[in-house]
Structure 1
Amino acid sequence: MTADPYILFLLGLGLVILLVSWGPKGLKRAPLSLAIACVGIGWTVFGMGVLAFNPDPRTYDTITERLSELVVIIALMGAGLKLDRPLGWRAWTVTWRLLAIAMPLTIAAVAWLGVAGLGFSLPMALLLGAALAPTDPVLASDVQTGPPRSGENDEVRFGLTSEAGLNDALAFPFVNLAILAAAGGLFSLQGLGQWALVDVLWKLGAGAAVGWLAGRFFGWLVFRFVGGLHRAADGLVALAATLTAYALTELAHGYGFLAVFVCALTLRGAERDHDFHGEMHDFTDQIERLLMMLLLVLFGGALANGLLDALTWTDAAIGLVILLIVRPVAGWLSLMGSPLDRRERGLLAFLGIRGVGTVYYVAYGLNHGGFGVSERLWAITGFVILASILIHGVTATPLLERLTRWRERGASTSGS
């Protein structure tokens, strides 16, 4: 007797969902992250041929773009709802430094490595730099702040959460610059002028404005309309706010990623200490983990079916340089002169996790620009994401726990 593949799929899905439900706490002290487990499951299942399907992003480019897009926007809503700290220039100093200094330095360094080390064309090198520059709001959940009002809001966790919330949107102008370069308009005053006015000023402004308006509307609806919708609603409101803010911004030709995060910050600010924020966050966190599980299992399947076949030893070496040297150095330079301790600066610089956002930007760029053959681009992208999942997944929790113990020792010493 042969088993029905559909029944096997349901069995596997149930077991993986159980892992997703149990994983965040069950794996908390193990040298293993939920992301590593999901990739490993995908690698095993697809590598054994249990499912006769090859989830190659090069074949299913549009589905890859849309699925990764959905995961990112839900993660951005969750990230915004987590932040107890109101938006401000001084309070967010670490964030502004990472965005204004570390991110452009990373894009420039990766683009240079793409041209000089990988032999990529300038447009493809720019796309690689833009895609690998932002930290990931999805896979970085283990190093982010805790749920609303949980108290897990130290500078390292806050910096990584707020950076991930904003830099996905701020990478978009550089992705569009790569698309412009692929179309031959990089050295055209008209093309650059349109890019600056539309892709930078208009789309960032529209994203911020629509996100703020959506956040104000949902804040009023949830907490003030007829006594507050929170009395009769549940965490689904967060998903409604996510999709509404994103869709309205895209209709206005703005950056929806920015709108969702701004919407979350504004919604959180409407009643900062209300318990309903925790309910909305918990719902988005569950949906995010389910979608992340699906995407990472498919990513593991793509790895098992040859996503890295085009990777050379030079590509792998440069990928590790990007992950272990470029981001840490850029992050460290951006935080020089800040009030952070050197341990905190080191962790913020090192824990620049790459993941789902990178997949989205590569898929988006290739779907909207003429970059030519993309096998090596996907191979090095997949390698960097895999390396980040493994390296950061194993080291993040022990490093953060060590930092906590160091703070506690410092506090006890100063107290005595």
Structure 2
Amino acid sequence: MNYLKVALVFALAFGVNLVAPGLLAHISHLGEAEAAIAATLWCLGLFLLFGWACSKVADGTLFPSFTLQLLIGIVLHDALAPLSAQLVLSVVVCTALAAIILKSGGDEIARQDFLKIAFPTLLIATVGYLVTFFIMFPVLMWLGLDSKTAALLAAIIGSTDPAALIPTLKTLAFKPQYKQVSNLSVAESALNDAVGAIFTGAIAAMILGGVNIDNVGALATGLFSGDNLRLLAAQFGFGVIAGVVGWLGMYAFERYKSKSNAAGKLDEPYDFALVLAVPLVTFVLAQMIHGNGFLAAFIAGLLANFNHGTHYFHGLLHSLEVKLESVAKPTIFMMVGPFVALQQLADTALLGLLVSLAFIVLARPVAVFVSLLPTSISRQEKLFLCAVRETGVIPVVLAVVTVAQFPEMTQLMPLTAWVVIWTLTLLPALTPWWAKNLNMIE
């Protein structure tokens, strides 16, 4: 019955997509401003309606709601066509929502818990990312991609994503000695999202600058040149500075909420505006001083960390979580739709499967064991982390931003979509079984 509901949602999406061109043609005959408003609201309505429907019918099936939302977005390719013609709007929406999501990722981990795993987190999020990148780049070229597309795709899919992971981990009762692996999984995903954004930007800048990246040696030489290393250092350093400023804003907000709580004002709904404003303003500040906005948003959330021990924030946090799950994440996943047609997805199906398998079976295990070599992380925990490799929100955002810069790279978005589909569908389903077989849960 559950799968019948999934089929009905897809049938509805196909029907909407069939009638959409006629409707959009009618909208285009309106005045310029009216046509732009109507087309944008049409797309927003589709995101909300089908995002909700996918979340509803995913219960009781093997498919996470995010996988269904991505596929439905592709089915609605023609219906969402106005967004492919408004690249700036798509990039702005994805970037803003991703900044808020990353800030909430920082909130997810208690600061004291993060400090205990800071060293392995830093290693797996940076060294592990680089290992993944330099394994996937030659593999992608061997599979037939040109060097520029291979470099950008390797950079984009190097970021992990906790979208489906966090709900899965919350259902598992880890033995006391293995509880840190849950925090490590979430912390890695939040931190290396920023690393992925920085490196994707660096690769894009190298391509635009005409730097030779035809092989691994040339790519490494360009990536680790003096000028590029200074650029990367600035992105990290100024991103952290902007994140600290964002934290100061959150600290001031916490003081304000503390006084309001003491005065008996527990629920002030307009305070939610500040929860959204902090990551956005922090992101803008980071860009203004040439830092990385995604890293800044994560740092602001991690340092503020007001969700632990301050009960008067629980209402705001619950409200934010609901809006992320019901609006932000579905919008980002369905944003693939305007840029990937169903035929493109079908044409790249085999290649997408091979890329995903190489990513899961080869790159991830090597990255985990190499990057965590200097740490005390146990072999069982490393084996568990090998299977925790979802690709989701931030890679989709990076793909949208990159396609806006390089529209001629037609394989970039469908292959990113395939990696997201396979990793989001397979790995969360396997995680409980894998943890049980490793004897890590109660």
What interval of TM-score do these two structures reach, taking the shorter chain for normalisation? 0.7 to 0.9
Q: CA deviation at 1:274?
A: 0.6
AA of the residue aligned to 1:17:
W
1:375 equivalent in structure 2: 410
Task: Tell me the distance in 2 between the aligned counterparts of 1:176 and 1:330.
Answer: 21
Q: CA deviation at 1:393?
A: 4.1
Q: CA deviation at 1:104?
A: 0.7
SS in 1 for 2:344: coil
The answer to whether the aligner puts 1:227 opposite 2:259 as a matched pair is yes
Task: Tell me the distance in 2 between the aligned counterparts of 1:382 and 1:221.
Answer: 38
1:162–1:57: structure 2 CA closer, same or farther, 3 Å change rule? farther
Q: CA deviation at 1:190?
A: 12
Name the % identity: 17
AA of the residue aligned to 2:243:
G
Structure-2-length-normalised TM-score: 0.74
User: Greater shift after overlay, 321-330 or 105-114?
Assistant: 321-330
2:150 equivalent in structure 1: 125
Task: Tell me the distance in 2 between the aligned counterparts of 1:372 and 1:13.
Answer: 27
Contact 1:76 1:137 in 2 (8 A): no
278, 283, 308: which is aligned to 1:241?
278
Deviations 1:320-370 (A, max 9, x none): 2123321233123333464444333222221111122112223323434xx
Task: Tell me the distance in 1 between the aligned counterparts of 2:252 and 2:42.
Answer: 46
AA of the residue aligned to 1:83:
I
**Stretches of structure 1 lacking an aligned partner (at least 5 in a row):** 409-416
SS in 1 for 2:441: helix
Q: CA deviation at 1:16?
A: 4.3
Deviations 1:194-244 (A, max 9, x none): 3222x2122211111111122122212322578258854644432121212
Q: CA deviation at 1:301?
A: 7.3
1:97 equivalent in structure 2: 123
Matched ranges for 1:20-169 at <5 A: 20=55, 27=59, 30-42=61-73, 46=76, 53-55=79-81, 61-86=87-112, 90-121=116-147, 123-143=148-168, 154-169=179-194
Q: CA deviation at 1:261?
A: 0.8
AA of the residue aligned to 1:133:
G
Task: Tell me the distance in 2 between the aligned counterparts of 1:200 and 1:110.
Answer: 21
Task: Tell me the distance in 1 between the aligned counterparts of 2:222 and 2:391.
Answer: 33
200, 204, 214: which is aligned to 1:175?
200
Contact 1:235 1:282 in 2 (8 A): no
AA of the residue aligned to 2:251:
G
Task: Tell me the distance in 1 between the aligned counterparts of 2:107 and 2:437.
Answer: 25
Contact 1:131 1:362 in 2 (8 A): yes
Contact 1:143 1:157 in 2 (8 A): no
1:267–1:329: structure 2 CA closer, same or farther, 3 Å change rule? same
User: Greater shift after overlay, 221-230 or 3-12?
Assistant: 3-12
SS in 2 for 1:373: coil
Contact 2:102 2:190 in 1 (8 A): yes
1:407 equivalent in structure 2: 441
Contact 1:110 1:326 in 2 (8 A): yes
For these two proteins, the number of residue pairs brought into alignment is 387
Deviations 1:55-101 (A, max 9, x none): 59865543443333233212112111111242765432331231232
Matched ranges for 1:284-295 at <5 A: 284-289=320-325, 290-295=327-332
182, 194, 215: which is aligned to 2:227?
194
- Aligned-residue Cα RMSD (Å) equals 3.8
**Stretches of structure 2 lacking an aligned partner (at least 5 in a row):** 1-15, 24-40, 213-217
